[in-house]
Structure 1
Amino acid sequence: MTRVKRGVTKHRRHQKIIKLAKGYRGSHKSSYKQAKAILLKAWQYTYCHRRLRKRDFRRLWIIRINAACRQAGLRYSEFIHQLQGKMIKLDRKILAELAATKPAIFEMILKKIKP
């Protein structure tokens, strides 16, 4: 069996990591060891923040819906409860979009809900 030397493979793998670390400061962009460590940390942050982004957007949607409801004299919790009671299947993302960009349509939804 012939001997397999890994020089080319190792070099390619290192270059791939260094290419991913482009734009980092100092030796983090040029040293393989530093680049790999900093990339692992960066990937941890991105994993964590992908989940945080979902939370943050939901909070933003709720704030926007609440602001639009308060102008009509209704609390957010009452609004959502009445939406569910009337079987109106609109999610918070759509409701927030309507409240921010198309207030007339949001007013129509409020009229359907108000007793």
Structure 2
Amino acid sequence: MSRVKSGKVTHARHRKVIKQASGYYSARSRNFRTATQAVDKANQYATRDRSVRKRQFRALWIQRINAAVRLFDPAFTYSRLIDGLNKAGIEVDRKVLADLAVHEPEAFNAIAAQARAALV
């Protein structure tokens, strides 16, 4: 039986990993064994951070809403705004509220006024 050489397959696999590691520093972008470890770890981080990204954006939206609501009225807070929105029956998610706070402050202030009126 003849010998099977896997040179093409191995070379292609190595080339694929080295291409994924392009841009890494030093041996991590050139040495196959080190590049494999670096690419595997990068994929672990990428998988984990897809969930973390959602948390970070929600935290950012909340900070922006809180800052805008305090500009509207210094005694009014984020938590009171959310409570007022729920009592007023206004269903606007945090992403949209944060966008309104940044780009359309008049509209945000109108919503905040309705939420404040619902608390009284």
TM-score higher than 0.5 here? yes
- Corresponding residue of 2:51: 51
Superimposed CA distance per residue, residues 33-57 of structure 1 (whole angstroms, 9 cap, x where no aligned partner): 1100111111112222222221111
Q: Which has the higher contact order (CA 8 A, sep 6+)?
A: 2
Letter in 1 for 2:25: R
Corresponding residue number in structure 1 for 2:7:
7
Aligned to 2:20: 20
* CA RMSD, Structure 1 to Structure 2 (Å): 1.6
Paired residue type of 2:88: K
Q: What amino acid is the match of 2:58?
A: R
Question: Corresponding residue for 1:30?
Answer: 30
How far apart are residue 4 of structure 1 and its match?
A: 3.9
Structure 1 residue runs of 5 or longer lacking an equivalent are none
When the two structures are superposed, what TM-score results if normalisation uses the length of structure 2? 0.86
TM-score, normalised via structure 1 length: 0.89
5 Å-filtered alignment, 1:1-115, equals 4-73=4-73, 74-115=76-117
Q: Partners of 2:106 and 2:56 in 1: how far apart?
A: 26
- Which runs of no fewer than 5 residues in structure 2 stay unpaired? none
Partner amino acid, structure 2, of 1:105: A
Count of aligned residue pairs for this structure pair: 115
* Percent of aligned positions that are identical: 43
